[in-house]
Structure 1
């Protein structure tokens, strides 16, 4: 059996201040700089949710600098 078939852990979607996403085990404390996004469930569910919502992979600071440069 693969790990995915036997992984019964609950995960949560987390986001950092640069609006980058990842998953983290729900029962573990979040690492510094990461915040729960609100979605919890299977690994597959969380990764699918991230794929839907994280459409711009650029960090927030880069997007802001590019927007500022475009406005100048």
Structure 2
């Protein structure tokens, strides 16, 4: 499944890279692209993994970035 997540607080490429790395480390995530200019994170993941969407949101917020939806 692919999901586009809009975020607030990701202001530059450095913060986008940190968010992308954190989300990519979540078990079940197959691809992640974080874009500071668009204020979004595009994630491909295995939706059969229990609690994966919550884990993805937690990984984003652990980097000081707010998940908007």
* TM superposition score normalised by structure 1: 0.30
* TM superposition score normalised by structure 2: 0.31
More helix per residue: 1
Larger-gyration structure (1/2): 1
More strand per residue: 2
